Amino acid sequence: MGRILAFIVPALLTLACCKCLPQGPVKMIIETDMGNDIDDALALAMALRAVDNGEGELLAVGCHKNCPTAAAYTDAVCTFYGHPEVPVAMSITPVQEFSDYVDYTAVEKDFVKTSSAYPEPVALYRKILAAQPDHSVTFVSLGFGTTLAQLLESAPDENSPLDGVALVARKTRGLSVMAGSYGEKKRAEYNVKNDVPAMQKVFELWPTTIWQNPFEIGKQTMYPGALIEENLGYYEPNPVVEGYKAYKQMPYDRPSWDILSVLYPLRPELFTSSVAGKVTVDDEGYTWFAPDPQGRHYVLSVTLDQPQALMKAEQAMTLRYGEWAERKKLLCFDLDATLTDHRCPLEPANRALLDTLRRKYEIVMVCAGNCPRVYKQMGEYPVDILGNYGMQESTVENGEFKIVREDVFPADTAFFMAQNDYLRAKYGYNEIYGAPVEFHKTGMVTLALLGVDAPIELKHKFDPDRAKRKVMYPEVCEIFKDYSVYIGGSSSFDFSAKQYNKYDAAMRYATEHGYTEDQVLFIGDDFGDGGGDSHVRINGMDYIWIKDYTRDPEVLGFLY
């Protein structure tokens, strides 16, 4: 019988089989060939985030290769994502792979792990299954069928008097598997062909429902490399991100093959399914589907409009800040290096981004610069501005810009100029362009190490990693201990009255407009210690760290 092309035969398609999946947290055991393609790592991260969100419970992760670095890397990911309690298993049966893939799991050495020895998976799975309620566990297979076949063949033991097939029938709800292909081009898909006998056994003997996620869907849902480069929203080095960097030179987008198999049990309504049927695997590794009302197998697919929803869900469930799209009401934006280059006009693409975001959120600018300068730099964009770290506030009414609040704390100009001379003499920054110090109307002060009028190209080259200013920072803080001190812009220090910072400015504005802190999201570029946005991080407000303002539409696309 010829293959049924589930992607192009509408008569075989139905809505996703939601009734087959549980309400409440999904109990999962994940099987992975970690260390081959990189999407296994992000799929695991999604499962761990689902645990945090109360959507999932991760009972175990098994690496079906005799590979200690793969297991250790898996362990390190679980630990990084806050779940060191998740047991990680390593197969004692080597899997023959013929692959040129980079073993990115070497990055595990840089991250904390909970174990140096990993148990054999079949015994672990039998113990876990025996302790779970009947029909409660969903297996997720992201690689070969090796260990699943061994589980089905397992004999009764001290954990259960049932053999493998009977135990799986009693305790599992189903199996979500990334395997096979039904595209126009005939393909023996990677996860199948690397252990054909095992995958044949899985599709033949697995006694509960199988949801097959074939090769084609993953190609239709590419995970953006821009979000990987943003460290998935995390402040600390992330083993998943480091794995992506080691796997292939960034930036690159990657298909979501394995990610979708984790996503399906959590979001079945986002997929389309075939009617019930039976999948078989031939000796060459090709999969075939035949409709059968009594069958337990469903082949997943997507309609033309579903990939976008899938990609949005993936991003929301893998980014540290992904879930914020549904509960945030007020977006606070920094300007320089967040939406445009330092003191340069607002980027047209990011102006369009603001237009789009304003349809869903209220937006306020929270900046180091004064309100008139920010308003002009943004091309008179009609938005409220909190300038000079909150010392100044402006709005636009009927197309007219006006200052609505200005808190003035005059600076001691003689003191600042004297300390400017001292610091320049000590650290050698005596070649400047324009004035060395800028005194703002509110009393905020900017000490420009290259001068207020320095060319932008020199500013970019001066201190990109802030190492030069970090050397000076402790002494600058001590000298100006009566001020809030920030490593500002690209080559300067900013000083504001002690009680002003971007966190307090954002919260004052939020409170006055009826928003709670949980409804506020701060978007900036400078959250490191001493940075202009640092108080936001220190005080625990939710934030997104922008590393490249030219990619804002990609990074922030999940918000709308």
Residues 6 or more apart whose Cβ sits within 8 Å of residue 196: 281, 283, 284, 285
Tell me, letter by letter, the H, E, C secondary structure of 470-521.
HHHHHHHHHHCCCEEEEEECCCEEEEEECCCCHHHHHHHHHHHCCCCHHHEE
**C-beta of residue 394 within 8 angstroms of C-beta of residue 384:** yes
Same fold, 325-407+500-559 and 413-497: no
Residue-level pLDDT at 186: 84
Q: Nearest-5° angle of CA 193, CA 177, CA 44?
A: 105
Looking at the predicted structure, is the pLDDT value of residue 71 above 80?
A: yes
Confidence of residue 236 (pLDDT cuts 50, 70, 90): confident
Higher-confidence position of 14 and 556: 556
**Nearest CA-CA partner of 218 in 271, 267, 269:** 271
Q: What's the rounded Cα separation, in Å, for the pair 532 and 366? A: 10
Confidence of residue 483 (pLDDT cuts 50, 70, 90): very high
Residue-level pLDDT at 6: 37
Residue-level pLDDT at 7: 41
Task: Look at residue 396 and give its three-state secondary structure.
Answer: strand
Give the pairing of strands 209-213 and 297-301.
parallel
Mean pLDDT throughout 87-112?
77
Q: What's the rounded Cα separation, in Å, for the pair 479 and 415? A: 10
Runs of H (alpha helix) within 326-412: 348-357, 371-377
Confidence of residue 436 (pLDDT cuts 50, 70, 90): very high
Confidence of residue 98 (pLDDT cuts 50, 70, 90): low
Residue-level pLDDT at 23: 62
Q: What's the rounded Cα separation, in Å, for the pair 497 and 485? A: 9
Residue-level pLDDT at 18: 44
pLDDT tens profile 311-364: 989 998 998 887 788 889 999 999 999 999 988 999 999 999 999 999 999 999
Looking at the predicted structure, is the pLDDT value of residue 365 above 50?
A: yes
Q: Map tokens 């001066």 to a residue.
A: 462
Q: What's the rounded Cα separation, in Å, for the pair 174 and 254? A: 27
**Nearest CA-CA partner of 408 in 371, 443, 372, 368:** 443
Q: Token digits for 508?
A: 């004052």
400: how many CB neighbours lie within 10 A of its CB? 8
Exposed (0-12), middle (13-18) or buried (19+): which is 312, by Cβ within 10 Å? Answer: middle
Higher-confidence position of 218 and 489: 218
Distance from the first to the final alpha carbon of the chain: 45
| CA diameter of the chain | 90
Residue-level pLDDT at 453: 92
Residue-level pLDDT at 96: 63
Looking at the predicted structure, is the pLDDT value of residue 283 above 50?
A: yes
Confidence of residue 9 (pLDDT cuts 50, 70, 90): very low
Which CATH superfamily, name and number, covers 10-320? Answer: Ribonucleoside hydrolase-like (3.90.245.10)
Q: What are phi and psi of 449, to 5 degrees?
A: -65, -30
Mean pLDDT throughout 45-55?
94
Task: Look at residue 159 and give its three-state secondary structure.
Answer: coil
pTM of this prediction exceeds 0.85: no
pLDDT tens profile 15-41: 444 444 556 799 999 999 998 899 999
**C-beta of residue 33 within 8 angstroms of C-beta of residue 143:** yes
Mean pLDDT throughout 291-306?
94
Mean pLDDT throughout 210-224?
95
Q: Which CATH number fits domain 325-407+500-559: 1.10.238.10, 3.40.50.1000, 3.40.50.300, 3.40.50.2300?
A: 3.40.50.1000
Q: What are phi and psi of 336, to 5 degrees?
A: -65, 130
Confidence of residue 557 (pLDDT cuts 50, 70, 90): confident
Mean pLDDT throughout 141-150?
96
Residue-level pLDDT at 17: 46
Q: What would the CATH number be for the domain defined by 413-497?
A: 3.30.1240.20
Report CA torsion sign: 530, 534, 535, 538: negative
Q: Where are the domains of the chain?
A: 10-320, 325-407+500-559, 413-497
Report CA torsion sign: 413, 414, 415, 419: positive
Residues 6 or more apart whose Cβ sits within 8 Å of residue 8: 184
Exposed (0-12), middle (13-18) or buried (19+): which is 384, by Cβ within 10 Å? Answer: middle
Residue-level pLDDT at 235: 81
Q: What's the rounded Cα separation, in Å, for the pair 370 and 442? A: 8
Looking at the predicted structure, is the pLDDT value of residue 384 above 50?
A: yes
Confidence of residue 97 (pLDDT cuts 50, 70, 90): low
Higher-confidence position of 236 and 380: 380
% of residues, the chain, pLDDT over 90: 77
